[in-house]
Every structure is written in structure tokens, then in C-alpha cells.
Amino acid sequence: AGRPLLSRKELFDIYTGEQIDSGKKSCAFALEFMAEDHTLTQQEVDSVMKQIIDRVSIRLQATLRS
């Protein structure tokens, strides 16, 4: 999901403390987007983010925390 505009992804934190339901984890990712031929618009980044969130939600039953 999100390719080719997703140029880098990094899992930088996993939290399993009291504020997270038992058996669940809170994972934090840093994502970097880039196009070689143009400057990305906010709309392009938003579209790719939606694709990533939708795919992760389906495949891993993950939810996005606010």
C-alpha cells in the first residue's frame, strides 16, 4: 500500500502499557513520502495515507488512535 510515493517507513515505538487493552499493542511509525518527478501535494499524501490505513485495518484488524 502506498507505493511508490512511500519512500521510507520506520517502526519507532511499541507500547503495551496500562492504557492499551490486553493483547493489544500501540505501534508508532514514521513515514516519509517522496516523488522523484514533482513536489507532492497534500491531497496526494492524504490519499496514500488513506490507502495505508485501510490496508493495515483490513489485514491486521488495526485501528488508528486519535
- Percent over 70 (pLDDT), the chain: 94
In single-letter form, the type of residue at position 4 comes to P
Find the helix or strand (DSSP H, E) in which 55 lies: helix 42-60
pLDDT score recorded for residue 3: 57
What is the DSSP code (8-state) at residue 41?
Answer: P
The answer to whether the beta carbons of residues 28 and 12 sit under 8 Å apart is yes
pLDDT tens readout for residues 2-30: 558 999 999 999 999 998 889 899 999 99
Q: Which own/partner pairs from 56-59 qualify as long-range (CB within 8 Å, at least 24 positions apart)? A: 56/1
pLDDT tens readout for residues 33-55: 999 999 999 999 999 999 999 99
Of 10, 11, 52, give the one whose Cα is nearest residue 32. Answer: 10
Angle at 66 between CA 21 and CA 54, to 5 degrees: 90
Domains and CATH numbers, the chain: 6-60 (3.30.70.380)
